[in-house]
Amino acid sequence: MRRASQPLAEFGFPSALKILLSWEALRLTIGFDIYASRIFFLIGAISLILAAGGLESARAARDGAPRPHRIVSINMCTDHLALQLADRNHILSVTFSSADPGQSLIADQIDGIELNSGQAEQIILLNPDLILSGAFTTSFTNLLLKRLGYNVVEIPFPENLEDARRNIRLAARAIGVPQRGEDLIAELDRRLDQALSMDLPRDVSVLILAAGGLTHGAHTLAGDLLTQAGVRNSATDMGIGAVRNVSLETILRVKPDVIVLSKTDRANQSLSSAWLDHPALRRYLKERHAVDVPWSYLGCETPYLGEALRRITQSISAPGAQGAP
């Protein structure tokens, strides 16, 4: 059973809980707008923790204390890095997104770990000694937590596999387990090498296509997989360098030889997911090669990038993939 919250008394703040609940009850009663109420709550929470000495663990981590053991992640990809690198009993919280099996590889591994929505007021109450934050975490949250003295490590958005290796090393050093980082990189490279071991035709065009027509250009992890395979990324032919939506009309005009369908496994499909079942696209796929690669394999710094590449290269090397009419 996942916990919705963790009592402050566990951190040695028995009387502080009453103060904090008073702040929360007051803001709900008065009915401030969402931004004012969050600021009001934060002022109370910050004052409370400062008075109780709640930042000692953060300062200790910053000053070179032993390996962090109260780790909080506020980004889905850093959730994955934390689960791959840290001792599980050292992870206090990961994001709600990682509990969704449709977009997360670790949904079945986080029972008992508190879930957060990346808001500063939640993180402060957990009193972490390491906060792993990603490129899509709000700058306000990162700035506030840093100003308060918390040990915040921001993991940049990876544009290619070399960035993924860099991010794994960065997270491993922050967690205090550099060798685990090197081991994880070695496993990623082993899977990538295995996927690239077959001979591939070089004049095949490939398009990675996700819900809503989202596709990946060369400056993305998924796009770099195609670069490593030595095939042509149809997103580049469309003038797409990073991540962008593409119209069905453009796909039918460019006519990629292979389409990688990057779907989620969510039980309740959204309208954007239904886009991949458009009748015109289904008809087109009958004439072309298509391969299913779950979205969760392509988005974050995990060895599953190697599995994604294996599926793609197998499809590219299949008879008829080259030069489809």
pLDDT digits (tens, 9 = 90+) for 136-150: 767 889 999 999 999
pLDDT at 65 over 70: no
pLDDT at 104 over 60: yes
| CATH 3.40.50.1980 domain span(s) along the chain | 8-155, 201-317
Classified by CATH at the fold level, domain 8-155 comes out as Rossmann fold (3.40.50)
Label residue 58 exposed, middle or buried (CB < 10 Å: 0-12, 13-18, 19+).
buried
Confidence band of 318 (pLDDT split at 50, 70, 90) = confident
Query: Can you give the pLDDT at residue 288?
Result: 83
Q: Max alpha carbon distance in the chain (Å)?
A: 73
Q: 137 phi and psi, to 5 degrees?
A: -75, 140
CA–centroid distance for 185 within its chain: 17
Q: Where are the alpha helices (DSSP H) in the chain?
A: 14-30, 34-52, 56-62, 76-85, 120-126, 139-147, 161-175, 178-195, 221-229, 234-237, 248-254, 271-274, 279-287, 295-298, 304-317
What mean pLDDT do residues 109-118 have? 94
pLDDT at 252 over 80: yes
The position carrying tokens 């990073």 is 242
Confidence band of 41 (pLDDT split at 50, 70, 90) = low
CATH architecture of residue range(s) 201-317: 3-Layer(aba) Sandwich (3.40)
For the chain, percent of residues with pLDDT exceeding 70: 74
pLDDT at 282 over 80: yes
Query: Can you give the pLDDT at residue 2?
Result: 46
Entry pTM: 0.79
